[in-house]
Amino acid sequence: SSRVVEIQSQMSERAVELLGLPEDRACLLLDVGCGSGLSGDYISEEGHYWIGMDISPAMLDVAVEREVEGDLLLADVGHGIPFRPGTFDGCISISAVQWLCNADKKSHSPPKRLYRFFSTLYTALARGSRAVLQLYPENSEQLELITAQAMRAGFTGGMVVDYPNSAKAKKFFLCLFVGTSGTLPKGLGTECANEELHQAKFTNERTRFRNVKGKSVKKSRDWILEKKERRRRQGKEVRADTKYTGRKRRPHF
């Protein structure tokens, strides 16, 4: 319906805005889950070039019929992004990445598929560029799974939430940086929603002491602080954090 098309193009516009592309030159963007090419139309209008990937032949047929300007590739992004290192100046994705959380086949492991997607995407992007992925998470576990795999693949950044106080307009954009840690853009309509910003910042800051699996090193200060934070969220009594939290005691002889 035209309403869907309208929302889709608004989100594409916002995603491209969050990419912060240079204004003086045309860029090559990857559109993950490009569907019938609606987000691509906006990229073309802005004077940039794009390549779209989608798992659905039917959707890509529509894109071909609509004579979109981008190049199209039929592929499952859970198998990885098959482009040479540094090919793209940015990546956008509208309402697609949450599908990687579903295991459709016995052999599908969502964390593995997400990691494969993010690690190959990281390689395919030029240093200093961004990926902005708008998604509809089913729950906070899904958000955490997706964000954790992105960080594990080397990205920095976090979730930008537009209109966090509105049930209808609330939108999640995973804003990821390649090679340089940028500051996370502010979500729209967040003047009075410090809590959301704090949570996005939380994923942003705690990436220093991660081990290979994306978890904080066990018993480290970060690991202890995260555990205490989780307990607090569950409403349990927890001691206040001090400069001594997680400090090793000297051995007694």
Q: What are the b/e assignments for 152-163, b being 16+ CB within 10 Å?
A: bbbbbbbbbbbb
User: What are 140-162's pLDDT values in tens digits?
Assistant: 899 999 999 999 999 999 999 99
The pLDDT of residue 225: 83
Crossing angle of helices 110-124 and 140-152, in 10° steps, is 50
Token pair 């032949």 in the structure block, residue: 57
For residue 247, give Cα distances in angstroms to 18, 19, 91, 107: 39, 40, 41, 43
The pLDDT of residue 183: 82
> Which CATH number is 1-202's, of 3.40.50.12780, 3.40.50.720, 3.40.50.150, 3.30.70.920?
3.40.50.150
Query: How sure is the predictor about 215, in pLDDT bands with cuts at 50, 70 and 90?
Result: low
pLDDT for 210 beyond 70? no
Q: What is the mean pLDDT of residues 2-6?
A: 84
User: What are 17-74's pLDDT values in tens digits?
Assistant: 999 998 889 999 999 999 999 999 999 999 999 999 999 999 999 999 999 999 999 9
The pLDDT of residue 211: 56
Query: How sure is the predictor about 220, in pLDDT bands with cuts at 50, 70 and 90?
Result: confident
Distance CA 11, CA 28 (A): 19
What does the domain layout of the chain look like in residue ranges?
1-202, 216-252
Long-range Cβ pairs for the range 215-223 (8 Å, 24+): 219/246, 220/246, 221/245, 221/246, 221/247, 222/246
The pLDDT of residue 238: 82
Give me the half-sphere count of Cα atoms (radius 13 Å) on the Cβ side of residue 241: 12
Token pair of 115 as six digits = 């990691």
The pLDDT of residue 44: 95
* Whole-number average pLDDT of the chain: 86
User: What are 110-149's pLDDT values in tens digits?
Assistant: 999 999 999 999 999 999 999 999 999 888 899 999 999 9
